[in-house]
A and B are shown apart, each in its own frame.
Chain A
Amino acid sequence: MARYVANRLAQAIMLLVIVSAIGFAILHLAPGGPLSQYAASAQMTQEDLDRVSRQLGLDRPLPIQYLDWFSRMLGGDWGHSYRDGEAVLSVIGSHLGATFELMATATIIAVLLGSWIGVLGALRRYSLFDTLATVGAMIALSIPTFWFGLVTIYVFSVKLGWLPAGDRETVGDGSFLDLLHHLIAPAVVLALVETAMWGRFMRSSMLEVINQDYIRTARAKGIPQWRVLTRHALRNALLPMITVAGLQFPTLLGGALVAETVFTWPGMGRLFLDSIGYRDYPVVMGILMFSATMVLLGSLIADILYAVVDPRIRVG
């Protein structure tokens, strides 16, 4: 087990290095590179630019610059926002809570609803429910998230007036109920794609499990059907879903960006778009690197967790 974890950890570190190299390359693709902020100002002469360039160490060879940049990233120095000079990590940190709230809620909805749909679909394979769920999932995966958000706002905010059209709370309120009221629409919109994916994977995982010998044995022993389902089938069918959860993480993050934009949710995704609008490259790069690192960590944790619950993985 220790060996598997060490192996997987080494892979993750190697990936982090490649990911950071890609990030560094993108940073230098920016018009004017890291100097763009200064180059935009008309008062800067070429001599000024050269001086700043030397001060920032941009005249050194690229590999040295990369190592410097990478070690500062590891040390938590991710640069400062062009907009207000705040440290990039603390800007990200102040928006993380809202994004996490949205993602966690959507995940809970997706896991509960998706598992239910997937399990029922597997148990009644090719029934009307199963067919509708399969077709429905395909359509759900094809609807642009932002458009589903617009339709939700139109129906539930404009026409019915049941839900607020955006923001995380009513100014001056901010009670738990108010927060919840604002959370419903963006969380459901974000959950749509996740539910569809979770349901599809759950269905195939469950189908694989219920045809196993040990399920037949359990039935033959006379264990009640629901108990076979919950204790024997579902528990085993949920194991591979750990990997699915890890794989779905990038989609969830991307979906959050879109949902936050449509619902003016003050999270990391919206911050990202705002920063792009202001050409605030340090924050843009910071969020890009941060999300990639989170995805990397997510799949690492998923793999290790899977190895913990399923011993076959560690050996094989």
Chain B
Amino acid sequence: MSTAVLQVVHPSPGQAAWRRFRRHRLAMAGAVTILVLVLASMLGPYLLPFDDTYIDVLKRFAPPLSGAHLLGTDELGRDVLARLMMGGRVSLSIGIVAMGIAMAVGIVVGAFAGFYGGVLGAVLMRLVDAVLCFPTIFLLLALAALIEPGLVTTTVLIAATAWMGVARVVEAQVRSLRQRDFAIAAVAFGSSNLRIMFRELVPNAMAPIVVAATLNVAKAILLESYVSYLGYGIQPPAASWGNMLNNAQIYLTSAPWLAIAPGVAITLAVTSFNFLGDGLRDALDPRMNIS
């Protein structure tokens, strides 16, 4: 005679979060869109017969779907689709790399401020407040005007104007977490302060950090489009979604398609990352995971 054992299966926190995330349809749509955009930017240029910087003066301003140019050509006869894909590489990488730098800076500043508190904490957090006083675009343009614009400088500058939010989140988390038993146990265990900060406390604040990181990518892509549109970011002939719109205004009457494709791409990418961040916030609900 066999006994039926009733087993209660508890999903692991990761599985539970994944379930909650899957229910968030907009976030799923965002994730899929991001995947499509990334793949198109990565592989697309190999599939097209046109180079993004190839100038064909005989085919200037070809409207979309005319002949071989799916999205038409620009004022120099360059293929818009090829530029859109190469621009996607630039804009998406800037978004992700700038986020990475901003996260690193924000986490370090936040962890030190939250862990040590006191004068150091106060000074660091007042610095965060002070940088936040500058409207982002003003600060970004003023800095961009002072140095040679390019891929690396644009990325670093965007990161320099985007780390403060994360620092605030991490500071608050670390400040409350360091009072907890596991942190005190780590002290008793003889762990170094650095180890406690970055191996014990910061990993426990991962949920809000991941959410902030996702929203930060959206912000960085948006900022790249602003500086490049205004002429102080990525410089032609290299394409970025922002600098493709740089000349679009002049040709708005004669060639409106030049303005449409890059704008739609930026909006799509930024919306997707924002929805993804929203979905992650619901899925990883910080209050559930941390306290």
Interface residues in chain A, defined as those with a beta carbon under 8 Å from any beta carbon in chain B: 14-15, 18-19, 22, 26, 29-31, 135, 138-139, 141-147, 150-151, 153-154, 158, 250-251, 253-254, 257-258, 261-262, 272-273, 276, 279, 284-285, 287-288, 291-293, 295-296
Q: How far is the CA of A15 from the CA of B26 in the complex (A)?
A: 40
**For residue B229, which residues in chain A have a CB less than 8 angstroms away from its CB?**
144, 146-147
Convert B216-251 into 0s and 1s, putting 1 for each residue whose CB lies closer than 8 angstroms to a CB of A.
Answer: 001000100110011010000000001001001100
- The distance from the CB of B150 to the nearest CB of chain A, in whole angstroms, is 15
Interface flag for B120 (CB, 8 Å): no
> What are 17 A-B interface contacts by the 8 Å CB criterion?
A14-B126, A15-B130, A18-B127, A18-B130, A19-B134, A29-B143, A144-B229, A146-B229, A147-B229, A147-B245, A154-B256, A158-B253, A257-B137, A258-B137, A272-B138, A291-B138, A292-B133
Among B120-135, those with CB < 8 Å from A are 126-127, 129-135
Question: Which residue among B130, B133, B259 has the maximum number of chain A CB atoms within 10 Å of its CB?
Answer: B133
Which single residue of chain B is at the shortest CB-CB distance from A293? Answer: B133
Interface flag for B266 (CB, 8 Å): yes
**For residue A139, which residues in chain B have a CB less than 8 angstroms away from its CB?**
267, 271
- State whether B263 touches A150 (Cβ < 8 A): yes
Among B98-134, those with CB < 8 Å from A are 126-127, 129-134
- State whether B274 touches A142 (Cβ < 8 A): yes
- The distance from the CB of A142 to the nearest CB of chain B, in whole angstroms, is 4
**For residue B129, which residues in chain A have a CB less than 8 angstroms away from its CB?**
15, 18
- State whether A147 touches B263 (Cβ < 8 A): yes
Interface flag for B275 (CB, 8 Å): yes
With contacts A147-B259, A154-B256, A158-B253 taken as known, whether A142 is within 8 angstroms of B271 at the C-beta atoms is yes
Q: Which of these, A153, A284, A295, contacts B145 with CB under 8 Å?
A: A284
With contacts A29-B146, A150-B252, A154-B256 taken as known, whether A288 is within 8 angstroms of B139 at the C-beta atoms is yes
With contacts A154-B259, A251-B135 taken as known, whether A26 is within 8 angstroms of B142 at the C-beta atoms is yes
Known A-B contacts: A19-B133, A257-B137. Give 19 more (CB < 8 A). A15-B133, A19-B134, A22-B131, A142-B218, A144-B225, A144-B263, A145-B226, A147-B263, A147-B266, A150-B249, A154-B252, A261-B230, A284-B142, A284-B145, A288-B139, A291-B135, A291-B138, A292-B135, A292-B138
Q: How far is the CA of A29 from the CA of B271 in the complex (A)?
A: 35
Q: Which of these, A18, A150, A276, contacts B141 with CB under 8 Å?
A: A276
Which single residue of chain A is at the shortest CB-CB distance from B260? Answer: A151
Interface flag for B200 (CB, 8 Å): no
Interface flag for B270 (CB, 8 Å): yes
Question: Which residue among B127, B129, B225, B248 has the maximum number of chain A CB atoms within 10 Å of its CB?
Answer: B129
| Category for how many chain B residues contact A | 35 or more
Which single residue of chain B is at the shortest CB-CB distance from A36? Answer: B146
- State whether A138 touches B271 (Cβ < 8 A): yes
- State whether A254 touches B145 (Cβ < 8 A): no
Which single residue of chain A is at the shortest CB-CB distance from B249? Answer: A150
**For residue A287, which residues in chain B have a CB less than 8 angstroms away from its CB?**
138
With contacts A18-B126, A288-B139 taken as known, whether A273 is within 8 angstroms of B267 at the C-beta atoms is no
Number of A-B contacts (CB under 8 A): 130
- State whether B146 touches A26 (Cβ < 8 A): yes
Interface flag for B93 (CB, 8 Å): no
Q: Which of these, A144, A273, A284, A295, contacts B135 with CB under 8 Å?
A: A295
Among B63-92, those with CB < 8 Å from A are none
**For residue B275, which residues in chain A have a CB less than 8 angstroms away from its CB?**
138
- State whether A257 touches B252 (Cβ < 8 A): no
- State whether B271 touches A150 (Cβ < 8 A): no
- The distance from the CB of B162 to the nearest CB of chain A, in whole angstroms, is 13
Question: Which residue among A18, A31, A158, A279 has the maximum number of chain B CB atoms within 10 Å of its CB?
Answer: A18
- State whether A30 touches B132 (Cβ < 8 A): no
- State whether A150 touches B145 (Cβ < 8 A): no
5 smallest CB-CB distances across A and B, nearest first, come from A147-B263, A18-B130, A142-B270, A142-B271, A254-B137
Interface flag for B285 (CB, 8 Å): no
**For residue A272, which residues in chain B have a CB less than 8 angstroms away from its CB?**
138, 141
- The distance from the CB of B132 to the nearest CB of chain A, in whole angstroms, is 7
- The distance from the CB of B271 to the nearest CB of chain A, in whole angstroms, is 4
- State whether A142 touches B267 (Cβ < 8 A): yes
Interface flag for B153 (CB, 8 Å): no
- State whether B267 touches A253 (Cβ < 8 A): no
Convert B147-167 into 0s and 1s, putting 1 for each residue whose CB lies closer than 8 angstroms to a CB of A.
Answer: 100000000000000000000
With contacts A18-B126, A18-B127, A30-B146 taken as known, whether A141 is within 8 angstroms of B274 at the C-beta atoms is yes
- The distance from the CB of B281 to the nearest CB of chain A, in whole angstroms, is 12
**For residue B139, which residues in chain A have a CB less than 8 angstroms away from its CB?**
288
- State whether A138 touches B278 (Cβ < 8 A): yes
**For residue A262, which residues in chain B have a CB less than 8 angstroms away from its CB?**
249
Q: How far is the CA of A135 from the CA of B275 in the complex (A)?
A: 9
